[in-house]
Amino acid sequence: MTKDNNVEWHDNDLPFSQSFDDHFYSRADGRLECDHVFLRGNEVHVRWISANNFSIGELGFGTGLNLLETWRQWIEQRSEGQQLVFTSFELYPMTADEITRAIAPWPMLEIMRDTLVESWSEAILGKSIQLDAQTTFQLIVGDVRETLPGWNNKADVWFLDGFAPSKNPQMWEEALMHELANKTNPEGTFATYTAAGWVRRNLQAAGFAVEKCAGHAGKREMMRGVLQSSD
């Protein structure tokens, strides 16, 4: 059973969270925003091509769009034997029906969405789901400030995709960014759609070198960064 995120459906069937008073993805095509901000922002296409094992962590699973688009591109680019592990932290998971509806605008994701939805009842219990022979997914449900410290892994890449910092400040607080750094492999990176100054300062305080770059569509800026060596 999932917790209630009070999902509404606005113009053109765009999912909206009453709990956080914010949309789940960009009106200007959420799939393209995922590619621009999270995949290209973290340069995954360059990095995972030579990795036997690659780990992506995500704060804010939402509709599952980032997972599905990442998986789609991974299938196109991976070599035999390579493994991708995608772990997402979410307080209010959607229902399977809500995910199905939210991903409907992108027919290229339909088969992958249906595979995810078939295992959704197990996923929300925290079980690792083998999406295919080279792709593993785990959803960790709960307040990320409590669940991330207990996660016994590290990520090469982080997708920071919580609701807007003004709507969901707990997801971006400094203590959590320090914990994020503790769960990041050496030279690991993050990318996020937000360019809020206080979020940038929190990430810098946690040990990330942060830069601003062009955002998706009409958004002027986003942020990305790399974990600095402690040596």
203 domain-assigned: yes
Task: Tally the domains of the chain.
Answer: 1
What's the pLDDT tens digit per position in 95-130?
Answer: 999 999 999 999 999 999 999 999 999 999 999 999
What's residue 164's pLDDT? 77
The CATH number given to whatever domain includes residue 162 is: 3.40.50.150
pTM for this one? 0.91
Q: What is the mean pLDDT of residues 42-67?
A: 96
223 domain-assigned: yes
What's residue 143's pLDDT? 95
114 domain-assigned: yes
The domain of 75 spans 28-227
33 domain-assigned: yes
pLDDT at 2 over 50: no
15 domain-assigned: no
- Its sign, for the CA torsion 146, 33, 103, 6, is positive
What's the pLDDT tens digit per position in 172-181?
Answer: 999 999 999 9
pLDDT at 72 over 80: yes
What's the pLDDT tens digit per position in 186-226?
Answer: 999 999 999 999 999 999 999 999 999 887 766 778 999 99
